[in-house]
Chain A
Amino acid sequence: MTEPVTYAYAVLRDIEGLAAALDGVAGVVGAPVRLVRASPGNELAAAVSSVPAQDFQESALRRHLEDLDWLEAVARAHHTVIEALAAHTTVLPLRLATVYLDDRRVETMLGADAQQFSQAMRRLAGHLEWGVKIYVDRQPDVRVTGEAGAAATTEGLSPGRAYLRARRVQRHSRDESYRAARQAAEHVEAIGRDMAAGHARHQLQQGELATGAGENVVNDAYLLAHETAAEFRTRVLDAARGLPGVRIDVTGPWAPYSFASPFGAEGPAPDSAP
């Protein structure tokens, strides 16, 4: 139980000075980060940390992953390492909690899939990921009190009729907002087709962690070459102009998390609602 295991963050192309850039970077559980090469002289490497086996063995990991605080700490540490690496070289981020028994096993993994890794890195070189989220303003609940009620009453409507009218107005405004959001979404996708090297969809954001104001109706990721990113961002943000009730949020740049898989063209897994 006292032997540590090896937590792997990313596969990458090692370049001069990269190991030094990892000095002082705290990985998961605060562990230092180091590089494991596929073989001596090979530029293919993985960024790893030694972590306590008792926290990262199967049953513990399964339990920990259900703990949002633990998950957040690991996710943020993982991300910190990816960002530190991506500032210097092309990285293929690994999915959270990819754990090996020791460094030798990581070397074996690098050697086994070396060709696919190299191909994926060539595809991603000079590119970063940008997130595009589209929101529709939430409609307030209908209440036939206050202004609307007062106005309706002065027009001689009964409370019941006033309520129905308010509902109708609300539904109309809601439909309009969704129509506008759809228009924005199509516009953004057209910009993506024009400029991006890749497009992936993520599940719509809902629930407590979804802190963005409004209802999330698009949660996508685009892969952009460095030199086109600024223009992409500007054009995407502009796609909401003149569309009432629609908001577009651009996040990034991200390391190419959503486009890293070298095995087939799979993006983020398709989801069905639980």
Chain B
Amino acid sequence: MTGVERPPGADPLEQRQVALIDLLDRLLSGGVVLTGDVVLSIADIDLVRISLRALIVSVSARNPSPWETSTRPEDEP
């Protein structure tokens, strides 16, 4: 599953290997949330994300932001 081969620059979004963590940021916390038929509720997805974070984050609780960053999403216009 390496994606489709295209000549570079053929598309505005040309194929490139993106960092998995950047992708997971978007696929697990972004995107339209619909209630599909296989009901992993939004809360479950959040649980997945949190348990994944637990898997890949060793020190998050002891390694807080250097300053108080608001984690609240900003209003979109």
Contact = CB atoms under 8 A, between A and B. Distances in A.
A96 B28 contact: yes
Interface in A47-100: 56-58, 61-62, 65-66, 68, 71-73, 75-80, 83-84, 86-87, 92-100
Contact of B29 (A136, A202, A206): A202
B1 A76 contact: yes
B53 A207 contact: yes
B7 interface: no
Contact of A265 (B11, B31, B65, B76): B76
A218 interface: yes
B56 to A, nearest CB: 4
B12 A226 contact: yes
Contacts, number: 231
A273 B74 contact: no
B52 A66 contact: yes
Contacts of B20: 72, 75-76, 209
B39 A58 contact: yes
B65 to A, nearest CB: 6
A237 to B, nearest CB: 17
Nearest to B59: A206
Contacts of B59: 206
A18 B15 CA distance: 17
19 contacts: A58-B38, A61-B38, A62-B48, A65-B52, A68-B56, A71-B24, A76-B3, A79-B18, A128-B13, A202-B26, A203-B25, A210-B21, A211-B21, A251-B19, A253-B13, A257-B31, A262-B32, A272-B71, A274-B51
A266 B32 CA distance: 10
A75 B45 contact: no
Contacts of B23: 75-76, 79
A260 B32 CA distance: 6
Nearest to B16: A83
B31 A260 contact: yes
A201 B61 CA distance: 19
Nearest to B75: A265
Contacts of B39: 58
A147 B21 CA distance: 38
Contacts of B50: 274
B52 A71 contact: yes
Contacts of A217: 65-67, 69
A270 B71 contact: yes
Nearest to A251: B22
A233 to B, nearest CB: 14
Interface in A193-235: 197-212, 215, 217-219, 221, 223, 226
Contacts of A187: none
Interface in A235-267: 251, 253-255, 257-263, 265-267
B13 A255 contact: yes
A5 interface: yes
A17 to B, nearest CB: 13
Nearest to A129: B26
Given A57-B38, A201-B73, A96 B31 contact: yes
